Amino acid sequence: MLRQDGFDYEFDSTKCSECGGRCCTGESGYIWISPNEISALAGYLSLDEGEFRSKFLEKHGYKFSIKEKNYNDGYACIFFNESEKNCSIYEFRPKQCMSFPFWDYFKNHFDELERECVGIRRL
């Protein structure tokens, strides 16, 4: 079980295998990625950064978000592996994904998190 200071719930990451990737699919949303993460992921995929950005990212103001694709009745991150139901770039996923489900937003939206994540338990 994972816990983090300031959060009144814990997370069992072993449940991810039975979930089907609900944190990477569903409603459309931003998946922010930093310049350092862009550089690392482009290298991993053997692409130069310009090519990587145009293929996989959208620019919003001065920030970049990972593109989405249609999936079931909603959306999925473009890096969501539909047959394995997991992240195809797991070791290089952005901090936003690594820090899930410990987002400040969920401190006041626990019901929403509970609907999305089967690994959550209130302390």
Q: Which residues of the chain form contacts with ligand SF4 (CB under 6 A)?
A: 24, 31, 66, 77, 79-80, 87, 89, 93, 97
Identity of the residue, 57 or 77, whose beta carbon is nearer to ligand SF4 in the bound complex: 77
Q: How far is the CB of 86 from ligand SF4 (least distance, A)?
A: 7
Q: How far is the CB of 9 from ligand SF4 (least distance, A)?
A: 20
Cite the DSSP H helix spans in 20-89.
Answer: 35-44, 49-56
Are the beta carbons of 67 and 57 closer than 8 angstroms? yes
Here the tokens at position 103 are 């987002």
Identity of the residue, 65 or 110, whose beta carbon is nearer to ligand SF4 in the bound complex: 65
Nearest Cα residue to 80 out of 22, 39, 4, 30? 22
Identity of the residue, 10 or 23, whose beta carbon is nearer to ligand SF4 in the bound complex: 23
Here the tokens at position 116 are 């999305």
How many Å apart are CA 102 and CA 28, to the nearest integer? 20
Q: How far is the CB of 34 from ligand SF4 (least distance, A)?
A: 13
